[in-house]
Amino acid sequence: MTKSSLKDCTGLHVVAQTPFRADGALDLDSIDTLSAFYYGHGARGLTVLGVSGEQGKLTPDECIATAARFIAAANGHRIIVGVSSPSLAQLVTVTQHVMAEGADAVMICPPRGTQTDDDLMRYFDEVFARIGNTPTVLQDFPVHSGVKMSPSLIRRLVEAFPQIGVIKEEDLPSITKITKLREELGTNVRILTGNNGLYLPQELARGADGPMAGFSFPEMLSGVDDLMRNGDREGAHDLFDRYLPLLRYEAQGEWGIAIRKEVMRQRGAMECAALRAPGPVLTALDRAEIRSMIDRMGLEFKFDNRSAA
């Protein structure tokens, strides 16, 4: 893998959870298990410190330490680090540190309030004046950021800033936006999808290059992607539909992340399922609900770390 390039950035890139201890401290050791879990289930790379990686709850120092540990455990896989911040200085500092640690790329979502096409161009002018040639994933996620980017503006950005090699597309309906982006951008840029994978088969059919999402059964995400790539559309849908009840259940914002971490803990991916406070805490009722859903699905549950790549 050419570290400096996002040209071949296709296939599953899991948006990784960040593991914490019960007291809220970072659990760096679990990153090794977690990485093995992701790679053992088909991830070609990881996006660490995304929204569902609880990036917003960390200090910059913690961000750098977390990314460094994922990089150390990458074992040849691509590591993309979320560095979005209302503070450009913080974005730049974290970028410099994680690239120095060996990250492959950063992911940036423009900050709330960047609201006209010209303001967006200027924002990335400022960004790239500071981070230079750093390979970059542009995150299009208006529900979270409040920033809307039209397909024509995204083309302007991609043309002005060749550092942008991937669009993480999660502006709803992502399905139709991917169609429009493919018309605007051709195939020079990779488009990966988000939104917890909830529209994955259709997104892939419309030209996406793979999922960049999180799910407690990443083998579904990679499996659907492989099947679609091999032209087995029916097989892809069958696989997707089998997991859909749980996928939909996890797609409930921060509370869904709590669910996802709990399932992943039960699967052996990490020690402790806690989100860093303040955040949702699962009740006995929630846990019973999870258990009932898993049982219904009849899924192969336990992950054996020893079998991971």
Please identify which residue in 241, 291, 304, 309 interacts with a copy of itself, judged by CB under 8 A.
Answer: 241
Report the residue number, 120 or 264, with the smaller CB distance to a copy of itself: 120
212 is in an annotated binding site: yes
Q: Cβ distance 269 to 34 under 8 Å?
A: yes
**How many Å is the maximal CA-CA distance in the chain?**
53
- 202 contacts 244 by C-beta, under 8 angstroms: no
Write down the least CB distance from residue 10 to a copy of itself, Å. 22
DSSP H stretches of helix in the chain: 30-40, 60-72, 88-101, 117-131, 142-145, 151-160, 174-185, 200-205, 218-229, 233-250, 253-266, 284-297
Q: How far is the CB of 277 from a copy of itself (least distance, A)?
A: 6
Amino acid making up residue 230: N
Query: How many Cα atoms occupy the beta-carbon half-sphere of 104 within 13 Å?
Result: 27
Per CB under 8 A, the list member of 21, 235, 255, 266 interacting with a copy of itself is: 255
The residue within the footprint of a copy of itself, chosen from 21, 72, 150, 182 (CB under 8 A), is 150
Interacting positions 59-98 with a copy of itself (CB under 8 A): 59-62, 86-90, 93
Among 85, 130, 83, CA closest to 105: 83
Segment interacting with a copy of itself (CB under 8 A) among 3-11, 40-48, 142-150, 262-270: 142-150
Rg value, the chain, Cα = 18
The contacts of residue 284 (CB under 8 Å, 6+ apart) are none
Q: Does 148 bind a copy of itself (CB under 8 A)?
A: yes
Closer to a copy of itself by Cβ: residue 95 or 136: 95
User: Is residue 53 near a copy of itself by the rule CB under 8 A?
Assistant: no
CB of 59 to a copy of itself, least distance (A): 5
Q: How far apart are CA 89 and CA 122, in angstroms?
A: 16
User: Which residues, 101 to 140, sit near a copy of itself by CB under 8 A?
Assistant: 112, 115-119, 122-123, 126
Q: Do 147 and 109 meet the contact criterion of CB atoms below 8 Å apart?
A: yes
Q: Which residues are annotated as a binding site for pyruvate?
A: 212
Task: By CB under 8 A, name the binding residues for a copy of itself.
Answer: 56-62, 86-90, 93, 112, 115-119, 122-123, 126, 142, 148-153, 172-173, 175-176, 179, 198-199, 202, 205-206, 234, 237, 240-241, 244-245, 248-249, 252-253, 255-256, 276-278, 280, 283, 285-286, 289, 296
